[in-house]
Chain A
């Protein structure tokens, strides 16, 4: 079955600390992987995406993610978190013959303490 697992429902970090949000996927075809962020009261915004090539992907707002095929993972990282990064983060997978449907994870809520 195709699925995305974000094992951490809620993460709390101090401002300036490093961050890693976990994402594992199960997908039959070559995966297209995405991270979206949803700030309070806002819609989802694309942070970064991976299709092929370099497995370390740079995104907006200083985020990066690494695709590890052997581990079926696509973890999101940031070296130093800012208070404005507090939001909900969604990992998603798509691909194959279907370009219209993404499978989303349940999200990880990030809280940042000053």
Chain B
């Protein structure tokens, strides 16, 4: 059983609000990732981290930011939510060898900005 958790599962919020999507893992993995998933579209990597104090932007440009102050925690923040941010956000983690081993995914946060 994968031990990676995302909260909230669902979030409906008004335009202009600041939001933080939480992601925590208890497996001690160094590498963590945020993917954006839209219906009928590929998963797109938006952020990743190699470890504490490491953050990198992914392939898909995103207005969100991330931080990695603790190994187990990798929150994603939107300073001012817009309807274009409506999507599902998936957090994942893997061992130091990266995604070529096995990635463990959280259940996702479905964000709706109205």
Contact = CB atoms under 8 A, between A and B. Distances in A.
Interface size on B, as a range, is: 20 to 34
Interface of B: 2, 4, 31, 33, 40-43, 45, 48, 50, 58-59, 90, 92, 97-100, 102-108
Given A43-B90, A101-B58, A101-B59, A106 B99 contact: no
Interface string A16-60: 000000000000000010001010011111100101000000000
Contacts of B104: 43
Given A43-B105, A45-B2, A104 B43 contact: yes
A42 B40 CA distance: 17
B43 A95 contact: no
Contact of B99 (A9, A38, A41, A94): A94
Given A46-B103, A100-B98, 20 more contacts: A32-B100, A41-B107, A43-B2, A43-B90, A43-B105, A43-B106, A43-B107, A45-B105, A46-B102, A49-B102, A51-B100, A94-B100, A101-B58, A101-B59, A102-B45, A104-B43, A105-B42, A106-B40, A106-B41, A107-B40
